[in-house]
Structure 1
Amino acid sequence: MTNQTEQDRLRSLEERINKAKAEAPTENHMKKDYSQAQHAWRMVTELVAGLLIGFVIGFGLDYALGTSPIFLVIFIFFGFAAGMKTVIGSAKELQMKMLDQQSGKNGEK
Structure 2
Amino acid sequence: MSEEPDPDRLRALEARLAQVKGKPQKAKTENGKAFSQGEMAWRMVIELVSGMLLGLSIGFGLDFVFDTRPLFLVIFALLGFAAGVRTMMRTAQTMNVKHDGTTSGTNGPDKHEGNDV
- TM-score of the pair, normalised by structure 1: 0.60
Q: Which residue of 1 aligns with 2:87?
A: 86
Could you list the runs of 5+ residues in structure 1 that have no partner in the other structure? Answer: 1-30, 102-109
2:57 matched residue in structure 1: 56
| Conserved? CA contact 2:60–2:69, under 8 Å | no
Contact preservation (8 Å) 2:59, 2:73: yes
Root mean square deviation of aligned Cα: 1.8
**Partner of 1:48: helix, strand, or coil?**
helix
How far apart are the structure 2 equivalents of 1:99 and 1:58?
40
Q: Counterparts of 2:55 and 2:69 in 1: how far apart (Å)? A: 16
Name the structure where helix makes up a greater proportion of residues. Answer: 1
Structure showing greater Rg = 1
Written as runs of structure 1 = structure 2, the 5 A alignment for 1:2-81 is 35-81=36-82
- Aligned identity (percent) is 50
Q: Which secondary structure state, in structure 1, belongs to the residue aligned with residue 68 of structure 2?
A: coil
In the alignment, structure 2 segments of 5+ residues that lack a partner are 1-32, 103-117
Following TM superposition, the consecutive aligned residue runs of length 4 or more in structure 1 with deviations greater than 3 angstroms are none
Shift of 1:68: 2.4
TM-score (norm 2): 0.56
Aligned length: 70
Check if 1:96 corresponds to 2:101: no
Structure with greater contact order relative to length (CA < 8 Å, sep ≥ 6): 1
Instruction: Give 1:100 shift.
Output: 1.1
